[in-house]
Structure 1
Amino acid sequence: MPPLPSPVPPPAGRRFDLITRNLQEFLGADKIREVLAQRDLRVYWGTATTGKPHIGYFVPMTKIADFLKAGCEVTILFADLHAYLDNQKAPWELLKLRTQYYEAIIKAMLRSIGVPLEKLKFVVGSSYQLSKEYSLDVYRLLSMTTEHAAKKAGAEVVKQVESPLLSGLVYPLLQALDEEYLGVDAQFGGVDQRKIFVYAEKYLPQLGYAKRAHLMNVMVGGLSGSKMSSSDPDSKVDLLDSSESVAAKLKKAFCEEGNVDDNPILSFIKVVVFPVNSLTNSNYEFVVERPEKFGGNASFGDYQSLEDAFRSKALHPGDLKSAAAKAINALLEPIRAEFRSKPELAELTAAAYPQPKPKIKDEISRLDIRVGKVIEVAAHPERENLYVEKIDLGEPSGPRTIVSGLAKFITKEDFTGRLVLVVANLKAAKFAGVLSEGMVLAASNSDKSQVELLEPAEDSKIGEQVVFDGFLSEPDATLNPKHKVFEKCAADFITSDDCVALYKSVPFRTSQGDVTVRSLKQATIS
């Protein structure tokens, strides 16, 4: 698509309409009008450089085209520091490469829809976020922000857990400060960032900085009906997906016949396909190709007529999916072509998002170690050093009975209610007459005088399996005691100097992070 001509900015009223059209919500209308009466509006849009950008990124790109048409000065922020703070999704060593990838592919996106890059300013977050002045402002914000306010601000953006990392609490504060340090009048983002915007409006003035306006675009649902996510490949179409992959993903997408309220394909056509194509073709029509026996080809000059046809079931989901796949591939082909024509971009993609190494099958692959919650603890009827626990592993059959030799090391009160790790596929065995259906894992020092439970993160899910990076997980239904599989694995169990539980130097890990003990270092685990 050729670049859009550099327009003469329209009158202030028309510019306001361009800036705010097709948004789900905006805050600070008076602020925007006040600025437009004097000069061009300065706007920024930021993105954390984590997973690969997907087709949902076309939503903000179409609005950036509107901002430029309205004469706005637009800054695009590649938020590398935010990417790290967001639960360390992007390791430091990959941040620079991923930031370069984001810049390359977003520029390719903008070129593909005719947006002139010379009117844009591109900024990397760490270029100013590590400065003395910025850091001091972060501390000033920390001194006036409660934990509740920080959690509330990031509720829709930062993963919410019972015991959040401080990095996630700081994330919204930095995003608010970016408005001041980028020198803008307004911040643009998804409606999921509304609480961060409200936080910025409240707290920036307390630092002596101006209150900014906030512009919020609609969110495009994932193909499965949930939020489109860079970290969930099944929910999104990647900007470099092949045409065959696009067609296959859309074929599996949620698209219930007649349903126009919860339909990610219709939503994408509404907020991207029509607006993008209308940038250079005011007579654009969305074309659905189908055999004559099913009504023949149909053309729709506006979204509403398409929605009406689908609602009345005059348009079948299969035909809509096929047409949407063609429209999406038409948007993506210029981006794919640019990356095909430049070998350095292919190299950058591979370096920024390296393929995981093949997993190894090992004895640890055969163990079924799960997160359990201790429901009840009782003294063993015959052995004073043993406990009999009821532990919930999330199984339909209910809690398991497990016998553990922990009575000398942990009180019933401290044990009850804890999340623990359980080896769940050991053959059930009796201990002094009580059948035990698993083993609770604990670490101990060399003379066995100290014992501590292995502790998954507080927000780990009951019943989830512990994994070991680089190793396959193919647990036996029940381990044969004669093969000594657990004993062989336990010989390589140890805690690190950071109190992390390891197998052959690889951490025990749940979906919420590494498994630890409270204080024992270089301790054995059994």
Structure 2
Amino acid sequence: MLSPEQKYDLVARRQSFLTPEDAESLKKLLSEKEQPKIAWETAPTGKPHVGYFVPLTKLVDFLRAGLHVTVYYMDVYGFIVNYIHSMETVEYRRQYYHHLVSAILTSLGVPLENMHFVNESSLSYDPAFVKDSHKLCAIMTQQDAKDITDEVGQTKMLSPMLCAVQQSLSEPYLDLDIQFGGEDQVGLFNHAKRFIPLLGYRQREHVMNVIVAGLDGLKMSSSKPAETKIEFLDPPSVVAAKISAASCPAGEVAQNGVLGMLRDVLVPISEQRLERLRGQTGAHVTEGKDLHAVQRPFATVDAPEGSIFSIGGRHFPSYEALEKGFVSGVIGPEDLKAAVVAAFNEVLAPIQDIYTKSRAWQEVEELAYPGGCNGH
């Protein structure tokens, strides 16, 4: 049985909050409720890149903390924000996302029966949801809607201005205690925090993960050129070519795309693998039961116990130690890139194996992203 402090440490690691007070509010929730409900909400738009490892790896922490974890596919949101595509196309993309998310979670050691998956469209056409959406629209200004993200703020269309309404109402209609998303969700989370109580519902907690930089050292996005990001289905040679050409100035951390992806994507996976080997999976007692092989951290077999990464014959127990080695010149860019290539190809292999064996996933990919388009 985990203590409230242990639960908080799992839920809050690598997360940020809207305000410092929200951290205390989360501690109170975890001490008072045995199994709080949390959801990660994702809109099926562009083809996901490896930045999606960050929230999905975090779901493992939530399961270890004993939370009730839901993936919420925002198919209605995906249509109104990306209105140039038909509802039918968005539905194919939702199916593609579900195939991919399921494969990623499986590769991370999560038995899918421990997860909950909900489609937004199964809730948002309910008469009560529609009525609440009208009530919410009646107490919001147009500026309130535009303030949630730059994308909505710059639109000339009406439908994207309804995105905040759709996402905020997910909190009461999923009966959530916590909504989880990226730091780019600040506007949406503040909207929910402000407006949902005005409809008579309780205020929820919000936690946010870091947004991963692309290989160019800048924000990764599905709409950016392919060479700036690694796709989940990129073959090993493509992964190697992209990382080889990536921004990785010797001794520099700022705008270093390779070091950033190691820190934000690979290190959390490696640390969770080490914890699983030590039996430190908390409430998630069946974690790893469906894996075909024992997953080790990204350290060589001769590395000291507790190492999470090996680079150029050197072993590191933490990201901080690794970064220090890079800044001091102990690790050079080429050795760093080689280790990152090997690690990414290892984590992508089981996902690609599931894809290769799934005719349904392959067929829906062509319907969702015809001709290999990325979705924008």
Shorter chain as denominator, the TM-score bin is 0.7 to 0.9
Give aligned pairs, total.
340
Counterpart AA for 2:338? S
Distance in 2 (alpha carbons) for counterparts of 1:250 and 1:334: 20
Describe how 1:111-510 pairs up with structure 2 within 5 A: 111-155=106-150, 158-161=151-154, 164-232=156-224, 233-282=226-275, 283-289=306-312, 297-355=313-371
Match of 2:26 among 32, 36, 40: 32
Identity fraction in percent = 36
Specify whether residues 342 and 121 from structure 1 end up closer, same or farther in structure 2 by C-alpha distance, changes over 3 A only.
same
Distance in 1 (alpha carbons) for counterparts of 2:52 and 2:66: 22
Counterpart AA for 1:348? V
Counterpart secondary structure, 1:153: coil
Instruction: Identify, as 1 or 2, the structure richer in strand.
Output: 1
Counterpart secondary structure, 1:355: helix
Distance in 1 (alpha carbons) for counterparts of 2:86 and 2:309: 42
Distance in 1 (alpha carbons) for counterparts of 2:213 and 2:8: 27
Counterpart secondary structure, 1:40: coil
Bigger Cα displacement from structure 2, 63-72 vs 169-178 = 169-178
Counterpart secondary structure, 1:279: helix
Match of 1:48 among 43, 47, 51: 43
Distance in 1 (alpha carbons) for counterparts of 2:86 and 2:322: 44
Distance in 2 (alpha carbons) for counterparts of 1:87 and 1:349: 18
Specify whether residues 10 and 105 from structure 1 end up closer, same or farther in structure 2 by C-alpha distance, changes over 3 A only.
same
Distance in 2 (alpha carbons) for counterparts of 1:90 and 1:23: 33
C-alpha contact (below 8 Å) 1:44/1:186 kept by paired residues: yes
Distance in 1 (alpha carbons) for counterparts of 2:93 and 2:100: 10
Specify whether residues 356 and 22 from structure 1 end up closer, same or farther in structure 2 by C-alpha distance, changes over 3 A only.
closer
Distance in 2 (alpha carbons) for counterparts of 1:110 and 1:89: 30
Counterpart secondary structure, 1:258: coil
Question: What's the offset of the Cα at 1:352?
Answer: 1.8
- Say yes or no: does 1:70 pair with 2:65: yes
Distance in 2 (alpha carbons) for counterparts of 1:167 and 1:242: 37
Counterpart AA for 1:353? Y
Distance in 2 (alpha carbons) for counterparts of 1:185 and 1:123: 16
Counterpart in 1 of 2:92?
A: 97
Question: What's the offset of the Cα at 1:16?
Answer: 1.2
C-alpha contact (below 8 Å) 1:274/1:284 kept by paired residues: no
Question: What's the offset of the Cα at 1:340?
Answer: 1.1
Counterpart AA for 1:216? M
C-alpha contact (below 8 Å) 2:92/2:367 kept by paired residues: yes
5+ residue gaps, structure 2, are: 276-305
Counterpart secondary structure, 1:227: coil
- Say yes or no: does 1:12 pair with 2:27: no
Counterpart in 2 of 1:84?
A: 79
Counterpart in 1 of 2:285?
A: none
Which TM-score applies when normalising by structure 2?
0.86
Distance in 1 (alpha carbons) for counterparts of 2:11 and 2:26: 9
C-alpha contact (below 8 Å) 2:214/2:261 kept by paired residues: no
C-alpha contact (below 8 Å) 1:47/1:78 kept by paired residues: yes
Bigger Cα displacement from structure 2, 220-229 vs 205-214 = 220-229
Counterpart in 2 of 1:364?
A: none
Question: What's the offset of the Cα at 1:262?
Answer: 2.2
Counterpart secondary structure, 1:241: coil
C-alpha contact (below 8 Å) 2:11/2:62 kept by paired residues: yes
Counterpart AA for 1:245? V
Question: What's the offset of the Cα at 1:243?
Answer: 0.6
Question: What's the offset of the Cα at 1:89?
Answer: 5.4
Larger radius of gyration: 1
Map Cα deviations across residues 24-67 of structure 1 (whole Å, 9 max, x no partner). 33553344333322321110101110111111011001211000
5+ residue gaps, structure 1, are: 1-8, 290-296, 358-510, 512-526
Distance in 2 (alpha carbons) for counterparts of 1:90 and 1:325: 35
Structure scoring higher RCO (CA < 8 A, sep ≥ 6) equals 2
Map Cα deviations across residues 434-477 of structure 1 (whole Å, 9 max, x no partner). xxxxxxxxxxxxxxxxxxxxxxxxxxxxxxxxxxxxxxxxxxxx
Distance in 1 (alpha carbons) for counterparts of 2:309 and 2:341: 12
Distance in 2 (alpha carbons) for counterparts of 1:108 and 1:197: 28
Distance in 2 (alpha carbons) for counterparts of 1:246 and 1:123: 32
Specify whether residues 100 and 40 from structure 1 end up closer, same or farther in structure 2 by C-alpha distance, changes over 3 A only.
same
Counterpart secondary structure, 1:76: strand
Instruction: Identify, as 1 or 2, the structure richer in helix.
Output: 2
Counterpart secondary structure, 2:353: helix
Distance in 2 (alpha carbons) for counterparts of 1:31 and 1:88: 37
Counterpart secondary structure, 1:204: helix
